Each structure stands twice: as C-alpha cells, then as structure tokens.
C-alpha cells in the first residue's frame, strides 16, 4: 500500500510545481474505498500533528483500474479544490456538491477538459491532449502497479415492501385502507372497523 501512496505523493509534488507554481501546501494523500466518486479533498485541514495541519486528498481505491491519464486527471481535479480553498475561491455550492464556473475556470487553466455532470455542475474532468503530452514528455505515463480488481456493483436502494391493511365497517361495509394498525370508528354507524386483509 505504501507504494501506491508514494506514487500519488510523487505526482502531487510534480503537479504542484507544474500547475500551481509550488503554492499548494503539503497534503496527506489517502487511498480509501469511495465507490460513488473518483476522489475527494477535505474542505478544511483535518490532519493535525503537534505543529501543523494538513488537507486530506483521497483517491478512490475502487476506481484506480482506469487509464492512468484519467486517474491523474482526478488527482489534479482534487488539487484544484485545495488551491481554491487556500485562495478563498468559492468553487463549489449546494453543500459542496455543485462545481461552479470558478471551478471550471481553474481546471481549464490547468490542462483539464471540463463538462457538466447533472446536479454536480462542472464536475466531470478529463485529461486534455496537453496534459497527456506533459505526462508523456516527462516519462510520467506509468501505469499504477497496484489496483483493486473487484467490481463495485451499483448501489440501489431495495424498495421496502409496504404492508397494507383493509378495514371495513361490520354494519354498512364501507372500507378504508391503511399502512399501519389503526382504530377507526364509522361516522355513520358508530361501529368499530375490523381488519379484513393484511398483506
């Protein structure tokens, strides 16, 4: 595992120099399972030692088995988030999910192609030819040596079967349905409804 962390730390340093003029702070890089995203960067510096604090940049263990150019574009995407947070650029809204025009601008100025992705805004980033050229010219287009090969199924919520009960008045036979146990009195006959069917 240390090998894969070292891989991302190396590229973080290279991209920091190339795309941010070395302005990004030292960052803790993690590789954890996040099936619904390629990566994330913490909003604040959440790693702390005696004298310093650090952002966290996570690369999803579930999505490393892609073309390395796309994986590294994800790394750069998350670095843009850290750059924006360090420079007080409000690049996201809607509780941090919507990537706005400021994020798009910062990404495009750093060799990333940006597309809209539904409710997430300008969140889809891909490597441009310039980005791939930079990786190729510097001998950086090396495949990741350690990836998770398990397939992650799409998470879908199983619909909970709702029980339905049919109640009827024993005198006038009017019926009602309810999804829970109820105590009903008929307004016409003043009789208590009885439960007929429970499914």
Do 98 and 119 meet the contact criterion of CB atoms below 8 Å apart? Answer: yes
Given this model, what pLDDT does residue 198 score? 54
Do 122 and 115 meet the contact criterion of CB atoms below 8 Å apart? Answer: yes
Residues 6+ apart with CB under 8 A from 102: 84, 89, 90, 91
**3-state DSSP percent of the chain in helix, strand and coil, to 5:** 30, 25, 45
Do 188 and 174 meet the contact criterion of CB atoms below 8 Å apart? Answer: yes
Do 126 and 73 meet the contact criterion of CB atoms below 8 Å apart? Answer: yes
Between 164 and 142, the higher pLDDT residue: 142
39 bridge partner residues: 59
In whole angstroms, what is the distance from residue 131 CA to residue 14 CA? 13
Given this model, what pLDDT does residue 176 score? 83
Structure confidence by residue, pLDDT tens digits, 32-89: 999 989 999 999 999 999 889 999 999 999 999 999 999 999 999 999 999 999 999 9
Given this model, what pLDDT does residue 1 score? 67
In whole angstroms, what is the distance from residue 90 CA to residue 106 CA? 11
Do 30 and 4 meet the contact criterion of CB atoms below 8 Å apart? Answer: no
Q: Are strands 112-115 and 165-168 parallel, antiparallel or unpaired?
A: unpaired
User: Residue 98 is inside which H or E element, if any?
Assistant: strand 98-99
pLDDT at 143 over 90: no
- Residue 22, by phi and psi: left (phi above 0), alpha (psi -120 to 50) or beta? left
- State the pTM of this model: 0.73
């Amino acid at each position: 595992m240390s090998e894969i962390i070292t891989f991302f730390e190396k590229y973080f340093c290279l991209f920091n120099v190339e795309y941010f003029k070395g302005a990004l702070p030292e960052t803790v890089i993690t590789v954890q399972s996040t099936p619904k995203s390629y990566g994330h960067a913490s909003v604040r510096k959440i790693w702390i030692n005696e004298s310093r604090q650090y952002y966290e940049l996570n690369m999803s263990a579930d999505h490393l088995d892609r073309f390395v150019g796309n994986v590294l574009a994800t790394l750069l995407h998350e670095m843009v988030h850290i750059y924006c947070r360090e420079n007080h650029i409000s690049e996201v809204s809607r509780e941090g999910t919507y990537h706005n025009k400021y994020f798009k601008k910062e990404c495009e100025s750093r060799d990333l192609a940006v597309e809209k992705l539904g409710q997430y805004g300008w969140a889809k980033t891909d490597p441009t030819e310039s980005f791939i050229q930079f990786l190729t010219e510097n001998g950086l287009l090396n495949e990741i040596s350690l990836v998770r090969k398990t397939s992650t199924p799409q998470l879908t919520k199983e619909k909970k079967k709702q029980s339905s009960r049919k109640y009827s008045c024993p005198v006038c036979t009017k019926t009602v349905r309810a999804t829970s146990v109820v105590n009903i009195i008929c307004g016409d006959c003043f009789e208590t409804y009885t439960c007929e069917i429970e499914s």
